[in-house]
Structures are given as structure tokens and as C-alpha cells.
Amino acid sequence: MQARLAELNQALPAGMSSSIPFNTAPFVKVSIEKVIHTLIEAMVLVFLVMLLFLQNIRYTLIPALVAPIALLGTFTVMLLAGFSINVLTMFGMVLAIGIIVDDAIVVVENVERIMAKEGLSPKDATIKAMKEITGAVVGITLVLTVVFIPMAFSSGSVGVIYKQFALAMVVSILFSAFLALTLTPALCATLLKPIKPGHHDKGGFFGMFNRALKRMTARYESRVEAGRPQRSGHAGVCGHRRVLVFAFRQLPSAFLPEEDQGYFMTSIQLPANATTERTLDVVKAYEEYVMARPAVDGNMSILGFGFSGSGANTALTFTTLKDWGSATVPRRRVKRKELSRP
């Protein structure tokens, strides 16, 4: 659109020019870039956690292969539904990435456990593992979808805002469950290799980590058997509730979270009998002050129109700020448009 507008400017009469006073594209672009970074960071963390606990590169490859396929399937459904890739849908993807990899991790870890304890082949261990966890995967999938589906049927502005978010979440969860019951077991049976009992008894960093984890697990099991978690668990739940109540009271509430979107609007209103010349003087003073600020990129003022109505005593300004990553963007010219005459 901006390229086309630049072409049309060449055909305008002398003394006339056009500009975009209200452009949300830069903010949306930056938001989507941050979401993509979060997705990449989540995948890297999943890879590192799988490598740390299972200590085999083959186990880490399976969630790394399944998660992108689930996301691509979600994008396909969004395209067919007529939705676009925006801040809300990408936010849903960020939340869903943890659920997507969780299903694959549950399958892989259960297969690894059976192979380590019973000495079965990858294929036999996968068959036995799926018999144990299929019901759990289906159950948690149904619970999560029941939580998010009602959001898509909400009425009013809430339904409009969160419909795409709910769709992205539900479709991602359903694809994750489907792949956990089909593709993930197939990958486990083909990519994994038989392991010997005691394969976690290693040296070096992994050996030290395994011994520390084993000691911590033993202490936890002993406390569970002794019945101590009944007391300590109750105290922990109460403390957790206090923290939640404190955070709920401290965090600001709003219909949508307030963020720096790269612009702000100012409404100017003078007394009812003010003339256009008087309003123009106020607008000029405001423009001089705003353009003196180092973070301001440009300003456009509209005389005769405002949020409180129209008339010679009102004005509305659109002030755009410089790009978040740039401090040397040249300023644009101050533009003013008059909608009323004295």
C-alpha cells in the first residue's frame, strides 16, 4: 500500500501530498516477530530438556519433527477458515506449542522407560506404551478443547477478538493429539534403538545429573511414604494462593493489554465560541512542542474534527513515533488538514 501511495503522489497537483496518519502495520509486524522468536526459543528449550533427561539425540528429534507438522496443520485450517496470521493467532500458537510437544514427550518417555526396564525392542515397547497412555492423551485433549471452544462462540467484541485465538489453540491441540497417536509412535518404532538396562549410569556431566536426579527422586518418594506432603503440601497451596491474590491485585486490568503501538492521538477542544484561527494557534503550539521531542517521527493535525464532535473549536492530531529499533529516523513534515472554515 505504501509503495502504491508513493506512485500516486507523483500524479498529485503541485502543493499537495499524501501521508498515512494511522498505520498499525509496524506494531503488528514487530509483535509477530516477537512471537516467532518465542516459538523458536520454545523449540530450543524442548530440545535441550529432552537431551538433558533422556541423553540421546534420537529422542530429541521426535518432538522436533512433530511440533512443526502440528503447526503447519493449524495454519492450513486457519487458511481454510479465512483467518489470517495476526497477533492473536500467533499468541495462541505460543501457548499451544507447550501442549504440542508435551504429547510427543509423553509418548517418547514412556517408550524409553519400557525399553530400559523390560528390555523390549522399540517396536514392542511402542505398542505397549501406547496401550498405557492412549486413554490419557485422548482425555487431556478433550478437556483442553472443552475449555477453549466456548471462547469461539462468545458474543460481542469478546467473541470477535478471541475467536481466532480459540481456533488456533483448539486446532493445535487436536493436531497434537492426532500426531501423538499416529506419527509419534511410528517415529519411535523406526528411529529409536534398543537400549540396555543401566544405560543412564554414565560419567561426566550426564552422570552427575543422573545421580543428583536419582537422589532427589528418592527423597521425594521417602517423604511421600512418610506422609509429610499432607502438611507441607497444604502450606504450599496456601502460600501459592496468597501469591496469586497479591499478583491479581497488583496487575493492572484492561479489556486489552496496553502496549506501545508507535503512535498516539491527541484531541484538542477550545471554548464553544473559539474561532478557527484561535484553534490553529493552539495546534501550531502543540506541533512545535511535539516535534521538538527526539522520539517523534511525524505529526498530522485535522482541524474541525475531534472525539467530542466537529466545529471550529476542535482539532485532532495523530503523532507517530520513531521505529522501536531506530533512533535516527528523519522526521516527516508536519501536515495539517482543515475541515471547517470560520
Same domain, 159 and 270: no
The answer to whether residue 29 is domain-embedded is: yes
> Residue 340: its pLDDT value, please?
44
Q: For 300, which DSSP code?
A: E
Per-residue pLDDT of the chain (342 residues; tens, 9 = 90+): 677 877 887 888 887 877 776 677 777 777 777 777 877 887 788 788 888 887 788 888 888 888 888 888 888 888 887 877 777 777 777 777 777 778 888 888 888 888 888 888 889 999 999 999 999 889 988 988 888 888 778 777 777 777 887 888 888 888 888 998 999 999 999 888 887 766 666 667 778 888 888 888 888 888 777 765 455 556 667 777 888 888 877 776 665 556 667 778 888 888 888 888 898 999 999 989 988 888 888 888 888 887 777 888 889 888 888 877 665 544 444 454 444 433
> Residue 341: its pLDDT value, please?
39
By the 8 A CB rule, do 301 and 317 touch? yes
The answer to whether residue 129 is domain-embedded is: yes
Within the chain, strands assigned E span 263-269, 296-306, 309-321, 335-338
Same domain, 162 and 49: yes
Same domain, 174 and 318: no
> Residue 201: its pLDDT value, please?
65
Residue closest to 177 by CA, chosen among 51, 92, 69, 90:
69
Rounded CA separation 57/192 (Å): 10
> Residue 250: its pLDDT value, please?
75
Same domain, 32 and 140: yes
By the 8 A CB rule, do 171 and 95 touch? no
Residue closest to 172 by CA, chosen among 113, 224, 104:
104
Rounded CA separation 139/124 (Å): 24
Q: What is the CATH number of the domain that holds 110?
A: 1.20.1640.10
What is the CA angle 261-266-271, rounded to 5?
170
Same domain, 306 and 164: no
Looking at the structure of the chain, the number of domains it has is 2
Secondary structure tally for the chain: helices H, strands E: 10, 4
> Residue 155: its pLDDT value, please?
77
Residue 299, helix vs strand vs coil: strand
> Residue 329: its pLDDT value, please?
46
By the 8 A CB rule, do 172 and 70 touch? yes
Identity at 231, one-letter amino acid code: R
Q: What is the CATH number of the domain that holds 297?
A: 3.30.70.1430
Residue closest to 283 by CA, chosen among 225, 217, 340:
340
The answer to whether residue 254 is domain-embedded is: no
Identity at 238, one-letter amino acid code: C
Contacts of 20-27 spanning 24+ positions with Cβ under 8 A: 21/300, 21/318, 21/320, 21/335, 22/263, 22/318, 23/263, 23/320, 24/261, 26/262, 26/323, 27/259, 27/261, 27/262
User: Could you tell me the three cell numbers for 176?
Assistant: 497434537
By the 8 A CB rule, do 135 and 143 touch? no
pTM tops 0.95, yes or no: no
User: Could you tell me the three cell numbers for 193?
Assistant: 534403538
Rounded CA separation 7/12 (Å): 10
Same domain, 34 and 169: yes
Q: For 21, which DSSP code?
A: S
Reported as half-sphere exposure (CB side, CA atoms, 13 A), residue 296 has a value of 19
The answer to whether residue 282 is domain-embedded is: yes
Same domain, 186 and 290: no
The answer to whether residue 206 is domain-embedded is: no
The CA-atom distances, in angstroms, between 200 and each of 50, 88, 158, 192, 297 are 14, 43, 51, 16, 59
Residue at grid coordinates 507438522: 69
Same domain, 67 and 191: yes
The answer to whether residue 168 is domain-embedded is: yes
Which of 149, 174, 195 is the last residue in one of the domains? Answer: 195
Which of 172, 195, 218 is the last residue in one of the domains? Answer: 195
What is the CA angle 105-65-127, rounded to 5?
50
The pair phi, psi for residue 56, each rounded to 5°, is: -150, 130
By the 8 A CB rule, do 100 and 78 touch? no
Same domain, 84 and 178: yes
Same domain, 279 and 173: no
Residue 155, helix vs strand vs coil: coil
The answer to whether residue 319 is domain-embedded is: yes
- Domain that residue 83 falls in: 25-195
Which of 195, 215, 247 is the last residue in one of the domains? Answer: 195
By the 8 A CB rule, do 122 and 115 touch? yes
Q: For 256, which DSSP code?
A: S
The answer to whether residue 172 is domain-embedded is: yes
Same domain, 285 and 184: no
Same domain, 167 and 56: yes
| Span between the terminal Cα atoms of the chain, in Å | 35
